[in-house]
Every structure is written in C-alpha cells, then in structure tokens.
Structure 1
Amino acid sequence: MTVPESPRTDEWLARFPEDASATGYIGRYGWNTLRIDSAIPDEELIEAVDGSYRAVVAKLPKRDRPAAG
C-alpha cells in the first residue's frame, strides 16, 4: 500500500497497471494494492510498506504509538 495523499499513488497506477490497483473502499483516500513478485521493484514495495506504516502510526493516539527506536 502507499501513503495516503502521496503523489506516488497515481504514479504506481500509471506505471504498473497490471500490478497496482486502487484499494476497495479506501482507494479514494489514496491507498493502493501493490502485487508482490511483480514488475514493481522490490525497493519501491519496501518504500510503500514503510510509508504506509508511518501513515497509520501517525494517526494513532500518542499513547498507542510504538516507542521510537
């Protein structure tokens, strides 16, 4: 998945139409589904996962966020 509101969301859909798709229900918020073992380079998939994690953690209440480390 990608970071919501990221310019990368539309880029992946355009560059990899067979391997990227807007995620049902939450796709309108900029979330995509990216296929593993596809034409999308592993580095970009790792970047997408890391960005998604950061976006979700940033929305958590501070008491529920993992300790920085």
Structure 2
Amino acid sequence: MNLESLRDFCIALPGVTEELPFGPDTLVFKVKGKVFLLTPLDGSKTQFNAKCDPEKAEELRETYSDVKPGYHMNKKHWNTVYVTGSIPSETLFSWVKDSYDLVVASLPKKDREELHSATG
C-alpha cells in the first residue's frame, strides 16, 4: 500500500469525499460528512488514522508494532497505522473498510439507505 492506492481505495467507497480541512498537509476522507480516515501528505512514509472498535483497536496495537493509538485523535476509537510492509496490504485495506463501515453504521437511517441504494 502507498498513498495513491490508499486514496484510490477510499474514494471508490460509496459516498466518500476527500477534503483538506486541516490545511494542505492532511488528506481527510469522509462519508456523508463524517471522517473515517486521515492521512498526512507531507511525509515520505505512508501512514493513516482509522476509526476502530475500541476492543479491536487494543488488540491490533498488541498484535502489530506498526499500529499505535490515534495520533491527535481519541485514542480509544482511533489507531494510527504506519505502512512499513510488515502488515499485508489486504489487511490494511480491510481496516480502512472497517473504519468506513463503523462510520456508516453511525449515520442516520436515511443516509445509510441512500448509500445502500447507491451501491445497488
């Protein structure tokens, strides 16, 4: 995984927008206006913050040295993941999808149905 493949994966998800609300150095992905992933644009190494179920967040941190409590985020609900090659890309993409799904699940029913109808 690199920044380009991360971006491509995120924007392919239904209802996703990308923004730079914190300035030109942090790319933010939202679904229906709610953040599900942030990634810095200024570093040479790919990393991202993703929302995570609190129990799973702890488990991932204990299992993978490249998963840390969310940098500048609620550390109970967010992880910062450093992409070093030690974790397979498929696993990383599944965590991104989990983050997206958590945010979608918290949306009002109308918004969830709208996203569902957009995917067919």
Give the one of 91, 94, 99 matched to 1:44. 91
Larger-gyration structure (1/2): 2
Paired residues in the alignment total 66
Match of 2:68 in 1: 21
Q: Which has the higher strand share?
A: 2
How far does residue 25 in structure 1 lie from its aligned partner after superposition? 3.3
Structure 1: 5+ residue stretches without partners: none
Q: Which has the higher helix share?
A: 1
Q: TM-score, normalised by structure 2?
A: 0.46
What is the RMSD computed on CA atoms of the aligned residues? 2.0
Report percent identity of matched pairs: 30
Structure 2: 5+ residue stretches without partners: 1-49
Aligned-partner SS, 1:10: helix
How far does residue 2 in structure 1 lie from its aligned partner after superposition? 4.9
Aligned-partner SS, 1:28: coil
Which gives a bigger RCO, structure 1 or 2 (Cα 8 Å, sep 6+)? Answer: 1
